């Protein structure tokens, strides 16, 4: 498949869905394709299924048309998943996916096994939105569609910062920019902007962070009672581990928060000399060489001690 148009012939109904807890790339790719079908294939009845996206994406068009529940009764001619790395990550619409006459998976995760009948997976591309763009007719990408795709691209590349950013990424971003979208507003309001309390918490975590192994490993943490005190949830903690990683001289960074008593979610980031995916996999999680995560039970110091040993072993070349 080179163009989405190739498989839309004689199709009357299309379902679209992303992964659980949708991020910017998931929301952007699902809404980008939904808006594209609505605009250029009005004869097709298209539905988009997503877990309720975060408020920061409310500037995108068509958000009030998202279906946040799926009865599973509808039999679609074609069901398309976007940014979904495996079938168990598909949100809401599993039954519709199984019932559909044809299925298409558009994704950018290397680990994707190709669970649909047709799979268009480019494992080394920075975002699902970038993969999706290459399947569309460029002249048909209107400003609302471009806003959705641009949102996904900036979120999954850290605003064109991660190593997955290529000249093609920037060329596509340039084409999207030419539709006249307000890139400054999109980047600030959906990516960088924090609430007052989110900034307070980030400040506190940074102030109380621990730097060990001669400055090679930095650890930030938040206890359950502190999360209660600030009245925050996990989605208020985005960006903290990335900020820790930017500490001069560190090889790796860890941020852990206690989501329930003695239960921690752990995020790891590396600057290249530590493969954090190996550590995450050891503790039952997953991820990439530079970014990975897992969950662990125990006291704060149990978690810190356990993970630190693995970081130290990798740094000493054992
Ligand atoms: Mn993605």
Taking only the tens place, the pLDDT of each residue in 81-115 is: 999 999 999 999 999 999 999 999 999 988 899 99
Q: How many CB atoms lie under 10 A from the CB of residue 192?
A: 10
User: Using 50, 70 and 90 to split pLDDT, how confident is the model at 170?
Assistant: very high
- pLDDT given at position 69: 95
Cβ-based neighbours of 298, under 8 Å, separated by 6 or more: 262, 264, 306
* Arithmetic mean of pLDDT over the chain: 96
Give just the sign of the alpha carbon dihedral 169, 247, 192, 106.
positive
Cβ-based neighbours of 287, under 8 Å, separated by 6 or more: 268, 276, 277, 280, 293
Are 56 and 189 contacting, i.e. CB atoms less than 8 angstroms apart? yes
CATH of the domain at 229: 3.10.310.30
187 and 205 housed in the same domain: no
For residue 50, which of 74, 24, 76, 13 has the smallest C-alpha distance? 24
Give the 3-state secondary structure of residue 134: coil
Residue whose pair of structure tokens reads 């621990």 in the numeric block: 210
User: The tokens of 297 are what?
Assistant: 């039970």
Q: How many CB atoms lie under 10 A from the CB of residue 4?
A: 21
User: The tokens of 283 are what?
Assistant: 């503790």
C-alpha 127 – ligand 1 centre gap (Å) = 5
Supply φ then ψ for residue 296, to 5 degrees: -150, 145
**Helix (H) / strand (E) containing 183:** helix 183-187
User: Using 50, 70 and 90 to split pLDDT, how confident is the model at 67?
Assistant: very high
C-alpha 140 – ligand 1 centre gap (Å) = 23
C-alpha 207 – ligand 1 centre gap (Å) = 31
183 and 295 housed in the same domain: no
Taking only the tens place, the pLDDT of each residue in 278-290 is 999 999 988 778 8
- pLDDT given at position 124: 85
C-alpha 31 – ligand 1 centre gap (Å) = 14
Instruction: Determine the Cα–Cα distance for residues 308 and 268; give it in Å rounded to an integer.
Output: 11
Candidate from 34-43, 94-103, 234-243 with smallest mean pLDDT? 234-243
Residue 284 belongs to domain spanning: 196-315
C-alpha 29 – ligand 1 centre gap (Å) = 9
Are 197 and 230 contacting, i.e. CB atoms less than 8 angstroms apart? yes
Instruction: Determine the Cα–Cα distance for residues 125 and 147; give it in Å rounded to an integer.
Output: 19
202 and 68 housed in the same domain: no
Report the pLDDT averaged over residues 182-191: 97
The percent of residues in the chain predicted with pLDDT above 70, rounded, is: 100
Cα 209 to the center of its chain, rounded Å: 26
310 and 229 housed in the same domain: yes
Better-predicted residue by pLDDT, 297 or 285 = 297
- pLDDT given at position 110: 83
C-alpha 10 – ligand 1 centre gap (Å) = 29
CATH of the domain at 37: 3.90.1640.10
User: Using 50, 70 and 90 to split pLDDT, how confident is the model at 168?
Assistant: very high
Taking only the tens place, the pLDDT of each residue in 239-261 is 999 999 999 999 999 999 999 99
C-alpha 212 – ligand 1 centre gap (Å) = 32
Query: Residue 252: beta bridge partners?
Result: 217, 270
Res. 212: pLDDT tops 90:
yes
**Domain-ending residue, one of 150, 175, 192:** 192
- pLDDT given at position 291: 87
User: The tokens of 288 are what?
Assistant: 């990439």
- pLDDT given at position 216: 98
C-alpha 223 – ligand 1 centre gap (Å) = 29
114 and 215 housed in the same domain: no
Report the pLDDT averaged over residues 23-37: 97
Q: How many domains does the chain have?
A: 2
Q: What is the pTM of this model?
A: 0.88
C-alpha 311 – ligand 1 centre gap (Å) = 27
User: Using 50, 70 and 90 to split pLDDT, how confident is the model at 317?
Assistant: confident
C-alpha 183 – ligand 1 centre gap (Å) = 19
95 and 140 housed in the same domain: yes
C-alpha 229 – ligand 1 centre gap (Å) = 32
C-alpha 157 – ligand 1 centre gap (Å) = 9
- pLDDT given at position 163: 86
- pLDDT given at position 148: 98
185 and 210 housed in the same domain: no
Report the pLDDT averaged over residues 111-135: 95
C-alpha 19 – ligand 1 centre gap (Å) = 9
- pLDDT given at position 26: 97
User: Using 50, 70 and 90 to split pLDDT, how confident is the model at 318?
Assistant: confident
- pLDDT given at position 162: 87
């Amino acid at each position: 498949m080179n163009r989405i148009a190739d498989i839309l012939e004689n199709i009357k109904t299309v379902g679209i869905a992303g992964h659980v807890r949708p991020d910017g790339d998931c929301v952007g790719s699902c809404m980008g394709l939904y808006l594209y079908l609505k605009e250029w294939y009005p004869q097709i009845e298209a539905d988009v299924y997503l877990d309720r996206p975060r408020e920061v994406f409310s500037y995108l068009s068509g958000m009030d048309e998202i279906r946040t529940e799926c009865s599973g009764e509808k039999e679609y001619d074609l069901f398309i998943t976007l940014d979904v790395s495996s079938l168990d990550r598909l949100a809401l619409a599993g039954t519709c996916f199984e019932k559909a006459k044809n299925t298409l998976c558009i994704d950018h995760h290397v680990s994707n096994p190709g669970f649909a009948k047709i799979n268009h997976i480019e494992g080394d591309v920075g975002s699902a939105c970038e993969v999706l763009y290459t399947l569309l007719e460029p002249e048909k990408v209107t400003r609302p569609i471009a806003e959705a795709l641009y949102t996904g691209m900036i979120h999954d590349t850290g605003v064109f910062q991660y190593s997955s950013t290529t000249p093609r990424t920037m060329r596509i971003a340039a084409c999207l920019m030419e539709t006249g979208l307000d890139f400054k507003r999109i980047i600030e309001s959906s990516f960088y902007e924090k609430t007052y309390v989110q900034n307070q918490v980030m400040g506190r975590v940074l102030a109380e962070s621990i730097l060990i192994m001669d400055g090679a490993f930095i650890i930030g943490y938040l206890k359950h009672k502190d999360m209660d005190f600030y009245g925050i949830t996990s989605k208020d903690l985005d960006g903290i581990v990335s900020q820790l990683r930017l500490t001069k001289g560190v090889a790796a960074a860890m941020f852990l928060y206690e989501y329930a008593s003695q239960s921690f979610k752990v995020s790891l980031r590396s600057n290249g000399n530590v493969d954090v995916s190996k550590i995450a996999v050891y503790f039952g999680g997953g991820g990439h060489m530079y970014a990975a995560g897992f969950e662990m039970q125990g006291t704060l110091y149990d978690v810190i001690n356990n993970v630190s040993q693995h970081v130290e072993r990798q740094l000493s070349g054992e």
